[in-house]
Structure 1
Amino acid sequence: MAPLLFKVEDRPPRLTTFLLALQHLLAALGGIIAVPLVIGGALKLPPDQVVALVNAALLGSGIVTIIQCKGVGPVGIRMPCVMGTSFAFVGAAISVGIEHGVAGILGSALAGSLVMILGSFFMPAIRKLFPHTVTSVVVTMIGLSLIPVAIDWAAGGHGSSRYGSPGNLAIAVTVLALVVAVVQWGKGMLSASAIVVGIAGGYLLCLALGLVDFTQFHQAPIIALPQPLHFGMSFPISGIVAMSIAFLVTIVESTGTFMALGAATQRPISGKCLSRGILCDGFGSAFAALVCSPPLSTFAQNVGVVSLTGVASRHVVALTGVMLLLAGLFPVLGALVVTIPQPVLGGAGLMMFAMIVSGGIQMLSTVRFTQRNTLIVAVSIGCGLAVTFRPELLSKLPAFVNEVFGSGITVGSLSAVILNLLLPGGKDEEQTADEGQHGGVGTTAGEAA
């Protein structure tokens, strides 16, 4: 496997660190902003309240990202993790918000975060449920589940009137080709900055074609001070139950993301590491509720950045946290990044997410494909893809089922864990599992250094 350009504890030069941190910001910012926009739109909130939610989401994501990367006592996994608002909570948030308003969402999230905080103490036992075969399936499913997101971006954004237009696809392909060229033929820092180079090239192309919309930039306030408890809080029992279920689902997804990150950074993830990471997710979501942000979780898409660039430094991603914090305090900065057209993000995103898939395939190649393991891999990926590609599959089932099994990552992960427990012969695979913990994700840009 190719060496990393920068390992987890490495501290790149300052300018290098800035450019590398900017890549993670570009990969995460759209997702962080999207959740409060979706919730605000569904609840028909006035514009000033939607802006308050967005600013709080950026601020909370930035602070918790720093803690996750740097660590504070037993809190924080101390790896390159970007935290952000999670779509896993959107369904619960909207259902609670329609009846109890934003105050009900925030209060339910604060109470529900206790599920994740308490769950963190059981992570050493949960870690044993993820031998190498299961982890390989989870990493692969994370990448496969993100591919449709990149495709929607490349096509111009889901619901756009120009979805799939030749112009959008041409821009996305141009960015993808530029990223591939920089990774393949660039050297050292240039190769590691392939995402920034690709997005910058696509952005300049869109500027020249008059496709950049600066409306949000002109409307964004220059500065926005934090407004803790701005919406107030209420604690409806139904909302707490819904959010608690969403937090249980997020424990599974975050565990998978941490395992994928361990493979990408070439650092095995122990049960103790998982405990610190999940504890930060839980405390981070509680803090987010206090500053009026939707709940947070670890972003899987940023694992793709690590995989593609070979930059695993947690100090780089901690600076991304600082950038997110500043974007929350100075919304005009975040609004400038949001002007990047979605096809540009799609071209880069397709490469990033496909790298996670590639890493999963690489890990699967080291699995001993007995009949038992073949069943685990085939059934789990099949079930995960069923939900990913046809989410309407669950539309006739109770809302509870949709809440728990609406994510392909969750379905694939749970299927793999359950089959691994039920099918006989699991102990015979322990040696393979131990060997597989040192597998990595994909070929990195460190190869070019």
Structure 2
Amino acid sequence: MEERMKQPAGTSVLPKRGGSKAKVTPKPESNLIYQVDDKPGIILMTLLGFQNILTAFGGIVAVPLVISGMAGFGIADTSYMISAALLGSGVVSIIQSKGFGPKWFRVGAGLPTIMGTDFGFVGPANAVINTMGGGIAGYFGGTMMGAVLEIILSYFIKPLMKFFPPVVTGTVISLMGLTLMPVAFDWVAGGVGAANYGSPLNLAIATIVFLLIVVLNHYGSVKIGPAAVLIGIVAGYIMCIPLGLVDFNQVAQANWFAMPQLFKYGVNFDLKFAIPFISGYLVTVIETVGVMQTIGAVTETKLTDEDIANGVRADGVGSFIGPAMGSGPVATFSQNAGLIPLTRNASRSVAITAGVLLMAMSFLPKFATLVSIMPMAVLGGAGVLMFGNVAASGVKSLSRVNFDNRNLVIVAAGLGVGLGVAFRPEVVAGLPGILNGLFSSGISAGTIVTLVLNIILKETPTMEPQEV
């Protein structure tokens, strides 16, 4: 930030995709404290990185918990799967946020991004592990082969981007925030399946965290504001301890140190195990394009088609190396995009720091457990604001769209179908084959409808007013 303040008046240095920098006119309406290339001090950068981990942790560990249950794993193997997921998420978050490789095989968009395992692969995983008898080795082999498909598809992103005008991207960004809101309110209530789901105590905890973040974000200094979510979550966590909502027995039972092992459970590269994951990877491509556009919007970075393709390629590469570590496919998380406008921090260095911290936590199961036992209501208070910010970013994008009849229909249809599928997924659960996969997510369903209508509905020429 200090470096930005030294630039000549009237110009600023923003990242130009490809590593060089270009002078551009600064946006007076920018609300960011730390832009993409800014590097906060090491202490603040570490705190902000940990803030990203807290908001993503539940999503990162949830899938390996489910997969471990499908595979019939005990406590030791389940703990290893969680550590492997943290390691995979950390490595791929660094790759996505930094960007590596030559132009023809650039991996990573170079924007602050947190990566993690995706629930979209849980259904196919159950089919491979149990129904098809592939076990955990078949799951790893199938996801690795499917990841190759995503890497190949990344080279076809550029010609597809012409079908993503603002009316489509704005709708998709809004959907991302809106479809995540039920998740946030499940957290507010205490988490799905919790015995005290929806209790007044959980609602009170979430409300206190929510209000604390709002106040710190709005009135806090340039040091306090970006860390508002972290401060709110830590305060809520501490508040829950005397209330008896935190069980430290799990921390005591966890190991202090654990080493990752490549292919600990083996791998089976049988093509039949890859087929169930095809629809999951097609959905991932669609959703990652939307997430990249969302992150571009909230970081005030103009992305090229190549940048978005690089982001999709990072998903594919991550989904290939993740299973080798004992994790599942690693995809771009949309949750953390909401942190950027809320905390006014778009620094890629913070996301890279979060990746390093995730890797460190993978070697320290006791510390990872300390985070995992955080009451869900605490995270819910932050989640409502984060996901709401994503939706608001989409509304901001749509505000630049000319809402004629055509565009109004496109937005209405995309939001209607996307929210409908998100709120009532059982309606489309009976769709056959690949359609079931493509419409299993509210984001992908709404995106597909918006894309198709944008193609088939011709634009109406604007009529010039005639002189009287």
Task: Bin the TM-score by the shorter chain.
Answer: over 0.9
- Match in the other structure for 1:250: 284
2:111 paired with 1:83 = no
1-side partners of 2:100 and 2:302: how far apart?
A: 21
- Match in the other structure for 2:37: 9
- Match in the other structure for 2:8: none
Q: Check whether the contact 1:31–1:84 (CA below 8 A) recurs between aligned residues.
A: yes
Equivalent residue letter for 1:292: G
1:50-65 → structure 2 map (5 Å cutoff)? 50-65=78-93
> For residues 165 and 278 of structure 1, do their structure 2 counterparts lie closer, same or farther at Cα, with a shift above 3 Å needed?
same
2-side partners of 1:383 and 1:264: how far apart?
A: 25
Equivalent residue letter for 1:34: A
Give SS of 1:380's match.
helix
2-side partners of 1:220 and 1:84: how far apart?
A: 22
1:32-431 → structure 2 map (5 Å cutoff)? 32-73=60-101, 74-98=106-130, 99-398=133-432, 400-425=434-459
Residue among 48, 66, 69 paired with 1:20: 48
Give SS of 2:224's match.
helix
Structure 2 unaligned segments of length 5 or more: list them: 1-28, 463-468
Q: Deviations over 1:352-375 (max 9, x none)?
A: 111111111111122110110000
2-side partners of 1:158 and 1:236: how far apart?
A: 35
Give SS of 2:430's match.
coil
Q: Deviations over 1:415-436 (max 9, x none)?
A: 11111111001898xxxxxxxx
Q: Check whether the contact 1:327–1:334 (CA below 8 A) recurs between aligned residues.
A: yes
1-side partners of 2:347 and 2:461: how far apart?
A: 35
Q: Check whether the contact 2:63–2:122 (CA below 8 A) recurs between aligned residues.
A: yes
Q: Check whether the contact 2:137–2:265 (CA below 8 A) recurs between aligned residues.
A: yes
1-side partners of 2:156 and 2:97: how far apart?
A: 21
Equivalent residue letter for 1:16: L
Per the TM alignment, residue 261 of structure 1 is displaced from its structure 2 partner at its CA by 0.3
Larger radius of gyration: 2
Per the TM alignment, residue 399 of structure 1 is displaced from its structure 2 partner at its CA by 5.7
Q: Deviations over 1:26-71 (max 9, x none)?
A: 0111110000001112332222221221111111110111111112
- Match in the other structure for 2:58: 30
Q: Check whether the contact 2:85–2:117 (CA below 8 A) recurs between aligned residues.
A: yes
Q: Check whether the contact 2:429–2:440 (CA below 8 A) recurs between aligned residues.
A: no
Q: Deviations over 1:293-321 (max 9, x none)?
A: 11010110010011211100101100000
1-side partners of 2:377 and 2:97: how far apart?
A: 30
Q: Check whether the contact 2:32–2:341 (CA below 8 A) recurs between aligned residues.
A: no
My pick for the range that moved more, 219-228 or 29-38, is 219-228
Equivalent residue letter for 1:23: Q
Q: Deviations over 1:305-339 (max 9, x none)?
A: 11211100101100000011011111112111112
Q: Check whether the contact 1:155–1:343 (CA below 8 A) recurs between aligned residues.
A: yes
2-side partners of 1:121 and 1:4: how far apart?
A: 32
Give SS of 1:297's match.
strand
Q: Check whether the contact 2:61–2:86 (CA below 8 A) recurs between aligned residues.
A: yes
Q: Deviations over 1:162-211 (max 9, x none)?
A: 11111111111111011111112112111111101110111121012121
My pick for the range that moved more, 37-46 or 105-114, is 37-46
Give SS of 2:116's match.
strand
Equivalent residue letter for 1:40: S
Equivalent residue letter for 1:206: C
RMSD: 1.4
2-side partners of 1:327 and 1:243: how far apart?
A: 29
Post-superposition, which runs of at least 4 consecutive aligned residues in structure 1 deviate over 4 A?
none
Structure 1 unaligned segments of length 5 or more: list them: 429-449
Per the TM alignment, residue 400 of structure 1 is displaced from its structure 2 partner at its CA by 4.0
Q: What TM-score comes out, normalization by structure 1 length?
A: 0.93
Q: Higher helix share goes to which structure?
A: 1
Q: What TM-score comes out, normalization by structure 2 length?
A: 0.89
My pick for the range that moved more, 418-427 or 68-77, is 418-427
Per the TM alignment, residue 402 of structure 1 is displaced from its structure 2 partner at its CA by 3.0
Q: Check whether the contact 1:81–1:299 (CA below 8 A) recurs between aligned residues.
A: yes
2-side partners of 1:399 and 1:153: how far apart?
A: 32
- Match in the other structure for 2:18: none
Number of equivalenced pairs: 428
Equivalent residue letter for 2:373: T
Equivalent residue letter for 1:155: A
Q: Check whether the contact 1:123–1:271 (CA below 8 A) recurs between aligned residues.
A: yes
Bigger RCO of structures 1 and 2 (CA < 8 A, at least 6 apart):
1
2-side partners of 1:226 and 1:335: how far apart?
A: 17
> For residues 76 and 213 of structure 1, do their structure 2 counterparts lie closer, same or farther at Cα, with a shift above 3 Å needed?
same
1-side partners of 2:174 and 2:31: how far apart?
A: 21
